[in-house]
Structure 1
Amino acid sequence: MSELTLPKLNKFTISNRLEIINKLKKIINPENVLSENEEMKPYETDALSAYKQMPLAVILPENTQEVSAVLKYCNKENIKVIPRGAGTGLSGGALPLQDAILLGLGKFNKILEIDFDNKCVVAQPGVTNLSITHSVQDKGFYYAPDPSSQLACSIGGNVAENSGGVHSLKYGTTTNNILGLEIVLMDGTICNIGGKTLDQ
C-alpha cells in the first residue's frame, strides 16, 4: 500500500487541546463533545481502515446553529475541521487528523419532508441513502444514486463524495439528483442554495 501524505500537524493546536475541548463544551452540550480515547475509537478511521489516528476531539452537534457556532469558533482559532457522515467512504474524505475536530453529523437523521408533487425529499445529512428510498417506495419512487454502502452511508456523505452506483449510469450521481442544500461555511455562515424545484 502506498504512503498517505497528511497535512502538516499544527503543534500549537495539539498543545491547547484541553482548552479547545473546554471551549467546545461551552458551545454545545458537553455530552456531545467526545475527548477520551475509548469514546473516540469508533471515529479513528473511515472505511479506509488501513489509516487510523485519533482526532483532537469528536463533536456531535444536534442542530444547524450548533454546527455554525462550532465552525465559527474553529475558524477564528485556526482549528481544522473534518466533517463526517456515516464513515463508509473509501476515499479518505472523513479520515481524522490529530490536530482537527471531527464533526460527526449522525444526530442529523430525520427526513423533514416528502413532497411527491415536486418529486423531492428534504432530509438531514445523517439520513441513510436507503432510508430515502424506503420513505417513498410505496408510491413507486426510489432514490437513484445507490452506492454499495447504501444501507449505512448517509446522504451528507453522498453529497460530499458525489456518490453513485449502478443506477447512476442512467440517472447520474448525487450532484445530478440534488435540487438544493443548506450548508454551513467554515466561518459559521448558514447558506441556502437552490430549492425544491428546478430553476425556471
Structure 2
Amino acid sequence: VMIAFSRMRKIIEIDIDNQRVVVEPYITANELTTLLSKDGFFYAPDPASYVVSSIGGNIAHNAGGNHCIKYGVTTNHVLGLEVVLPSGEVLEIGGKALDTPGYDLVGLMVGSEGTLGIITKATLRILRRPPGTAAILAVFNSVLDASNTVSEVIAKGLTPAAIEFMDQLAIIAVESGVKACGLPKDAAAILLFEVEGYEDELEAQGREIIEICQKNHARSVEMAKDPIGIAKLMAGRKAAFGSMGNLAPAFVVDDGTIPRSKLPEMMLKIKKISEESGLMIANVFHAGEGNLHPLILYNPRGEGEAEKALEVGLEILKMCLDVGGTITGEHGVGVEKKELMPIQFSGEELRIMAAIKKIFDPLGLCNPGKIIPEKFFVQ
C-alpha cells in the first residue's frame, strides 16, 4: 500500500508573533519560505532539494542543508507533530512550546523514515531573516589546504551560515555544461562561505575568513554582498549535482558524516578507492558539519557498473565509521545502508530500536524492512 500526501499541502496557521507555523506534510520548504518572506521570516532547513522536497519528507529523514552549520537540522525546528499510527490512532505530540517535559517523542519521530507512523501535520519554528548576507569564494590548489581552512575557521569561533566544498572533478562537471560559471578547472578545490548579519558584522567576519583562507594558501578569494554577486559566486554549487551528466550518464549519491578534522584523511581515502575501483568520484558537500556527498559516477549500460558503484558507496560509509563518523547525515538509512547498522550500533542498541518500532507498529505495516535488520526483532 502506498499513501500519497499530494493533497495535504495547506498552511494551517502562521503565528508571526511567536515565530511558529503549522503545516500539512506536502508543502515544500521553498513554498513555505517564499510565503514567509513578505513578513521578513524564513524556515531554516534547506536541503539541496528544498524546491521540490516536502516538509513531511524532510522530517522523515531529518534533512539538513547548506545552512545547518548555523541553524541546525530539521529536528531543531520541529516542535510538534500530528501522527497517525498503523492502528488508526491519532497522536498529538509536542506543541508550540520550545521544549516540553517528558520523553522527546517529537525527536523520536523526526528521522524515523516513516517506520513509526504517518505525519499529517507539523508545528515548525520560523526565524527572522538576517539583515544582510555575503558570500566568499576561495580557490585552492590543494584539497588539504581547503580542508585545513574549514577546521581553522570553526576553531576560531566563527559562525558562517554555510561552508560548501567542491573538488576538481565537481568543478570540471559544472564547467563542462550549460551551467558553466567561470570556476577554474585546474583548481583542486573551492570553498564557498556564507556569512550573515549587519554590515559591520559581514565585514568583520568576512575579513577574518579571507585572512584564514590566505593563510592556508588560497590562490584567490572573492567576496560579494549584493544579491547578483552572491548568486554568481554560489551558482557552481547549485549546479553541481545536475552537472554530473556532463561526465557520466548516472551516479550514486552517498551521504555520510565525519568529524571535520578528518576531512583531509577522508579525501585521500576516497581518492584511493576511486583509483582502485576505476570509477570517478566527485565530492560536493557541506564542509562546515562534515556531511559528505561523494558522487560515484558510472555507466548503467556497463556490465556490473551499477553494482560496483553501490559497493563503493558502502565502502566509503564504512570509512566514515572508521574515522568516527556516521553512515548518514540527512539521506536516511532505508534499505541500502541497513547492513551497516550493526557496524555503527551494538546489538543491544538495535534491539531497543526494534522494540520501539514494535510499540508504535506491532504488525510492521509502516515502511517495512527499513533501517533495522530483521534479526534484531524479538519474535
Query: TM-score scaled by structure 1?
Result: 0.48
Bigger Rg, structure 1 or 2: 2
Which structure: greater helix fraction?
A: 2
